[in-house]
Structure 1
């Protein structure tokens, strides 16, 4: 049996810098990954099948609409596999759950079937976030998601992810942008936690304002994180998940405990960010 983690993808900063003629938006983003996510297992089988378990399995399709099965079909030499998805990440949450699952499926099936990963175009055909999710390393993502480059070493980072259990559709968030041509990220430059937070604070998530209009609960989440001693709090992706960044694991664990206690209906997860 082969196992793969599909870690939560976090856009520490997300700038929308333009829009192509075909409708795709141009992005400029610093992406990192959590040490927490969905879990996939792969076993040899005569046919291709998908089973979904886990605390957030409800509502996850098991048919051809699922990106995991779509990922299997773009692999050269696809045969059979029994795939199980243990779902821990909320849906339509701005932390790349479906894309992370698809990327984990590509990695796992590549190992199971002893075949190479698909080319960039095939991975991109599954979704703009799939290429960046193929590797858990911090990355600078531009274009529509296909242009990836490494970033300078990040300091140790700990985070709390919070979702008010509100799904935010990506399309309306992009449609609600006041401007689709915004400044790019500043050149990445930092030296230690404080200077990294100072750099990050000067960046933005351009989707936060339109998402807040669609889901005002995001504002409540951000206020909770900002009152929990987070060095910085921001929305990830197109929402509704927000993150708080902390200098130590102990601070993140304590902040998660307090938010969970105050808001038992929210999804709250403390995590160590993968910075290397």
Structure 2
């Protein structure tokens, strides 16, 4: 996930923050402290934010760029941004051998905000990976994951950024079944969704942990398993954000679409397709039909 680029005057380090997709998401219970317990098969898409770091002598600061970064404004780049929180925690953990520097972090926000695909969490995870290396902080992996837990429920899985089964409140990560070749379409209607609001709207019983095989021979077999699962937050999210229903219907109507479902707490929805090419063609059609929507199609990472 890391790309190093030598600039003329300094070294600019770049880290990709890929979009997190919940192929299914079961709310399996609730802890006494109020946190919900989850079971989810998580994958990562080729779409993502990009974090650059230009070391310098000035205090570390953050700039937001890209389609969704510029819309947030400068106030969103302050100390409360998850990227800056990750940097602050890592600075405190760095050992005596570290070369902690200031400089500028530039975040290209290519993913919609508050959209169920882990944008902010992925950004924080990218900051941990990037600065741990750039500063020679030498914070070991178990400690990084413990730090990630303190930053947000999705930050540990985004720190890993590979296909994995996620349980607990997001901290329990175990190997996932091997995935077959497939393509993915992501669509967001442009409306931010509050995760607490969605959880408050959820009704009904908790859902059991899914029974998954070791692998699937093809995407059709994988989708057959996924159709037996659900996203426990999809129905309440449709109440909070009614356009999700339209997005799901339009994805499902695309040729070769095998499954249309919402990711996380919304509002981003995805479609599974048998090939990357079919996914890209569907994304092109959806983008042409809905200019205001954010649409991406391609492969998993």
Q: TM-score, normalised by structure 2?
A: 0.88
For the residues of structure 2 that align with 1:180 and 1:122, how far apart are their CA atoms? 32
Runs of 4+ aligned residues of structure 1 deviating over 6 Å after TM superposition are: none
Offset, 1:188: 3.4
Asked whether 1:50 is paired with 2:50, we answer no
CA-to-aligned-CA distance 1:146-172 (integer Å, 9 cap, x gap): 000111211122111000001110001
2:235 is aligned, of 188, 197, 209, to 209
Rounded Cα–Cα distance in structure 2 between residues aligned with 1:192 and 1:253: 19
Q: Does 1:224 align with 2:237?
A: no
Choose from 144, 148, 162 the match for 1:119.
Answer: 144
- My pick for the range that moved more, 72-81 or 94-103, is 72-81
Q: Is the 8 A contact 2:177 2:212 kept in 1?
A: no
Q: Which residue of 1 aligns with 2:288?
A: 261
CA positional deviation for 1:52: 0.8
Deviation digits for residues 71-128 of structure 1, max 9, x if unmatched?
Answer: 0011122542421001100000000000000000000001100123443332111000
The 5 Å alignment of 1:100-179 reads 100-117=122-139, 118-179=143-204
SS in 2 for 1:155: coil
In the alignment, the residues of structure 1 paired with residue 148 and residue 237 of structure 2 have an alpha-carbon distance, to the nearest angstrom, of 27
Match of 2:268 among 241, 266, 270: 241
Structure 1's unaligned 5+ residue stretches are: none
Q: How many residues matched?
A: 274
1:28–1:140 Cα contact (<8 Å) kept? yes
Cα deviation 1:226-249 (Å, max 9, x = unaligned) = 000311110000000000011112
Question: Which structure is higher in helix share?
Answer: 2
Q: Residue 63 of structure 1 aligns with which residue?
A: 78
CA RMSD of aligned residues (A): 1.3
- Matches for 1:21-40 after TM superposition, within 5 Å: 21-40=32-51
Partners in 2 of 1:192 and 1:159 — Cα distance?
14
